[in-house]
Structure 1
């Protein structure tokens, strides 16, 4: 039977763990609450926490309620032009007045000589603002509305994003049934909101995603398997939840690996689950931590490696001592690493790694990239083997000796 787990970034899982609060609030906002702040939602979190999945689920909720969904892409050359093309294309499909007729000629003698042609009213078309208002009006007439969504919103050109959000705000002010969802990396969104052209996004409802508790993770794994002809015992499900650390991407990965380890057995055993841990660490290292640590500033890396000496949370004072730096220096890197979602506060004066298996990934990285010697030896010398290979033979030495004696005479 096909593996029911979907350990791919952005793939919607069969069972979504711990996101009901956000989905229920969004669904309620769309039903009949045009003034609800949830109609403008900004989703943020670290990679693998399910931002794209939640955005996709919200889009599906909107579609089920009869809303038109226009999904914008950050890779587009122009976000505004993409929006215009999408809305005009959709209007041609749903607007009963999208096509009309135009008189092209008529004879005087007979009415039968009247000639007409079909005209696309949106060829060349109205402005983007007018087209958006028309599409929102048509969607609202059938009890729905117009939803704009942007994934990886932190990657959008600021001026282009400002142009789209201005169009959206105009629709809001004129009472059109509209909604907006943006999703992106938390640190990138914070940097985006610090810009001067993102006032609208600052007022949006924030949904910050992180790990779920072990029990919720275990239930998501159990529920996914329950829809198949196999099963998983309570203890095995809990251990799977523990190995996943409640991290949405790992919930799917651990579940998928346990499924494969069971080799078609009717029940996924505890040992099948336990064998997933090492591969889960490697997977996080390759797909999550490796890219995040690639090119990381030396000061940040030194701070993270100073934390490796502790089994649990690290004292910031002790980190400063290990680095040989004062409190002000280590505080700067502490703040930056928190903004990068690599560490998090763990009580007054303490920090800890914020993502699962980051400690193990740093240790793997140390093995892959050993630190260079403090004072590298830059001298060059011939090896003993090389000296022997280049030394003249005994016969050559004898001949050379005779020649030298002749010259001496």
Structure 2
């Protein structure tokens, strides 16, 4: 049987854990008509928390309500031109006047003798993006609508976003049935919102997503297996959820590895779930943590290293002492790491690691650094001893 888990970024899993409320609110916004809260939504979260998956599910909900969807991309040369191009494809299917016959000659009053050409209303010369989108939303009417989506919104060109926002707001003012959902990394989105060109996004409803509760994670794992010919022991599903830490990307990865460890067995057992832990730690380090740490400022990395001395949450006062700085000075890096979503606040003046297995990755990195110096020294020593050994 093929593995039913979707252990890759952006792939929609068979069962989505812990996002029902967000999706229900979005569906309600589509039903409530123009101007409803949630018609403009920003989904924010760290890498691997399922932003792209949630965006895809919102698109599916819109299509289930007979809405049309225009998926925009930050890599596009122009958001408006991309929107116009996709809108034209929709119009060619929906508009009864997309093509029409234009007479170019023949006898007046004699249909049989007329001759002419079929004209594409949406061919050259092209309608402007504003005219095209206005035509489409007018044609769709009150019973359906048009959803725009934009993933990785933190990477968008501000000039392109401002131009798109102007036309989108014109459609909203005209009480057309339109909606917008953007998704992006929390820290990047917050920086984007500081720009005067993003007033439109500042008014959007913000949905911050992160870990899901372990009960929902276990239920998703159980439901995924139950849809196949295999079964999973309840303790195995719970353990797989615990290993995933409720991190959406890991729910799928641990589920996939648990399935793989079971091999051809009809039932997935606790030891199969246990066998997924080592791979989960390595996978998080490679795909999530190392990219996040690669461009991290040295002082912020030192802050994380100072937290390693504690088994659990770290007191911010202790971190300041370990770094040799004043308490107020450590708060600067604390806030920056909170924005990076690498740490989160704990109770009573403490912080803790926000990403699963970040501690393990930092400890492993420290171990590699400790081994590197002796290894380099050993290599030089062997090169020096070689000639004497040969003599």
Structure 1 residues 318 and 88, CA gap change in structure 2 (3 angstroms): same
Residue aligning to 2:134: 133
1:247 aligns with 2:247: yes
> What SS class does the counterpart of residue 38 from structure 1 fall into?
coil
Deviation digits for residues 22-58 of structure 1 (CA, Å, limit 9, x no counterpart): 1111111112332211111110000111101111001
Q: Distance in 2 between matches of 1:28 and 1:157?
A: 31
> How many angstroms apart in 1 are the aligned matches of 2:344 and 2:302?
16
Q: Secondary structure at the match of 1:77?
A: coil
Is this contact kept in 1: 2:33–2:177, CA < 8 A? Answer: no
Q: Give the stretch that moved more between structures: 70-79 or 106-115.
A: 106-115
Contact conserved, 2:35 with 2:172, CA < 8 A, in 1? Answer: no
| 2: CA distance, partners of 1:325 / 1:230 | 56
- Name the SS for the 1:249 alignment partner: helix
RMSD: 2.1
2:109 and 2:277 mapped to 1: Cα distance? 88
* 1:91 and 2:95 matched: no
Alignment check: 8 A CA contact 2:149 2:181 kept: yes
TM-superposed deviation, 1:262: 0.4
CA contact (8 A) 1:247 1:356 kept: yes
Give yes or no for contact 1:88–1:131 (8 Å, CA) kept in 2: yes
SS in 2 for 1:71: strand
Query: 1:213-239 deviations in whole A, cap 9, x for unaligned?
Result: 111111111111111111111111111
| Cα 1:387–1:256 shift into 2, 3 Å | closer
For residue 370 of structure 1, report the CA deviation from its aligned partner: 4.0
Match of 1:359 in 2: 359
Distance 1:112 1:162, change over 3 A: same
Deviation at 1:191, TM superposition (A): 0.4
Are residues 1:39 and 2:56 paired? no
* Number of equivalences: 385
Q: Does 1:119 align with 2:151?
A: no
Partner SS state of residue 25, structure 1: helix
Q: Which runs of 5+ in 2 are unaligned?
A: none
- Map of 1:1-400 to 2, 5 A cutoff? 1-107=1-107, 112-123=112-123, 124-140=125-141, 143-370=143-370, 383=384, 386=387
Residue-by-residue CA offset, 1:333-389 (whole Å, 9 max, x unaligned)? 11110000000110232100011110001112223344987xx99xx9994665798
Q: 1-side partners of 2:139 and 2:355: how far apart? A: 45
Which whole-Å CA distance do the structure 1 matches of 2:6 and 2:109 have between them? 71
Q: Provide TM-score, normalisation by structure 2.
A: 0.94
CA distance in structure 1 between the partners assigned to 2:65 and 2:6 by the alignment: 26
Matched residue SS, 1:35: coil
Kindly state the Cα deviation for residue 94 of structure 1 after the two structures are TM-superposed. 1.2
8 Å CA contact 1:137–1:145 kept in 2: the answer is no
Output the CA distance in 2 between the equivalents of 1:292 and 1:284.
11
